[in-house]
């Protein structure tokens, strides 16, 4: 089988990759245990692309219980070297309203109690990987260029704040995150990005803004219906964007 040009991890509301052809399903285990579900490997405009639903295809795994290590390891085991993470998020600052797509360049980790390294096993080397730029420069550039090439509007940059969930944040928590410099808030950006760095994977985030974060934009209650409707609307250009990144 040809090499995997790109692996994609789908977030809330993205459980399959539309347009993936000749899909082969692999149910695999890893040295870190089971991933969230099967890996679907198929062809997208002539390139082999792998897809994994982060929360499981039925959205049954909450953010703090995702086996992030197994999810990345399974993609590495099938030969992927580049991972594009789709993350459904709330928007905090003005440029990041609902239905915006963004490719953040920074993050702040507010999560706790998650396994956040591959070097926990006794005897394994302790890694202190450089993480000044948490997303790989090259893959970020490819995402930004691909969006431009296929006419998909995308905000280049921004700071992703990763919260514990699964509840949404209080207004005060979001005020603090805004003061900290966060533009986006989601529950799954970490430890995934840090683990990808430890595993030597190229990794970038395509954030899909589903709602204004608490107290931002509008004062309305955030509902799951709103989140899913906005993700669906914002996702229209994503298959073309992924195909362009896979070609890059
Ligand atoms: N907060 C955290 N995670 C999210 C949000 C939010 O407002 N929207 C979608 N994922």
pLDDT at residue number 121? 80
Task: Pick from 10, 13, 109, 222 the residue to mutate for probing ligand 1's pocket: most ligand atoms within 8 Å of its CB.
Answer: 222
Cβ of residue 198 lying under 6 Å from some atom of ligand 1 = no
Cβ of residue 110 lying under 6 Å from some atom of ligand 1 = no
Distance 144 CA to ligand 1 centre (A): 23
Number of domain units in the chain: 1
Torsion of CA 52, 7, 200, 123, to 10 degrees: 30
Cβ of residue 227 lying under 6 Å from some atom of ligand 1 = yes
- The token pair at 104 is 């953040």
DSSP 123-139: TPPPP----SS-S-HHH
pLDDT in tens, 222-233: 898 988 999 999
pLDDT at residue number 64? 96
pLDDT at residue number 124? 84
Distance 142 CA to ligand 1 centre (A): 26
Distance 89 CA to ligand 1 centre (A): 4
Distance 168 CA to ligand 1 centre (A): 6
pLDDT at residue number 222? 87
Residue ranges of the chain with per-residue pLDDT less than 50:
1
pLDDT at residue number 52? 97
Cβ of residue 162 lying under 6 Å from some atom of ligand 1 = no
pLDDT at residue number 1? 47
Listed in order, strand segments (DSSP E) in the chain are: 4-10, 21-26, 39-44, 47-53, 82-91, 101-103, 106-109, 155-156, 159-162, 184-186, 202-212
Residue whose CA lies nearest to ligand 1 atom number 7: 90
pLDDT at residue number 135? 98
pLDDT at residue number 218? 80
Q: Which CATH number goes with the domain that contains 150?
A: 3.40.50.1580
Which residues form the domain of 31?
4-121+128-247
pLDDT at residue number 2? 60
Q: pTM for the complete prediction?
A: 0.96
Cβ of residue 92 lying under 6 Å from some atom of ligand 1 = no
């Amino acid at each position: 089988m040809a090499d995997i040009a790109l692996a994609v991890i789908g977030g809330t509301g993205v459980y399959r990759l539309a347009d993936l052809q000749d899909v082969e399903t692999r149910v695999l285990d890893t040295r870190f245990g089971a991933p969230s579900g099967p890996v679907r490997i198929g062809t997208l405009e002539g390139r082999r692309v792998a897809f994994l639903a982060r929360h499981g295809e039925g959205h049954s795994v909450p953010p703090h219980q995702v086996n992030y290590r197994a999810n990345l390891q399974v993609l590495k085991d099938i030969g992927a070297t580049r991972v594009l993470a789709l993350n459904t998020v709330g928007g905090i600052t003005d440029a990041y309203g609902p239905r915006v797509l963004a490719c953040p360049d920074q993050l702040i980790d507010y999560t706790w109690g998650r396994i956040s390294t591959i070097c926990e096993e006794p005897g394994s080397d302790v890694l202190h990987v450089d993480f000044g730029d948490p997303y790989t420069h090259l893959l970020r550039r490819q995402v930004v260029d691909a969006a431009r090439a296929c006419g998909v509007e995308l905000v280049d940059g921004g700071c992703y704040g990763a919260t514990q969930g699964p509840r949404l944040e209080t207004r005060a928590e979001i005020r603090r995150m805004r003061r900290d410099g966060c533009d986006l808030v989601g529950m799954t950006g970490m430890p995934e990005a840090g683990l990808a760095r430890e595993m030597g994977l190229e990794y970038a985030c395509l954030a899909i803004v589903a709602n204004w974060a608490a107290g931002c934009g509008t004062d309305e209650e955030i509902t799951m219906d709103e989140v899913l409707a906005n993700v669906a609307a914002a996702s229209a250009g994503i298959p073309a964007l992924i195909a362009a990144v896979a070609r890059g």
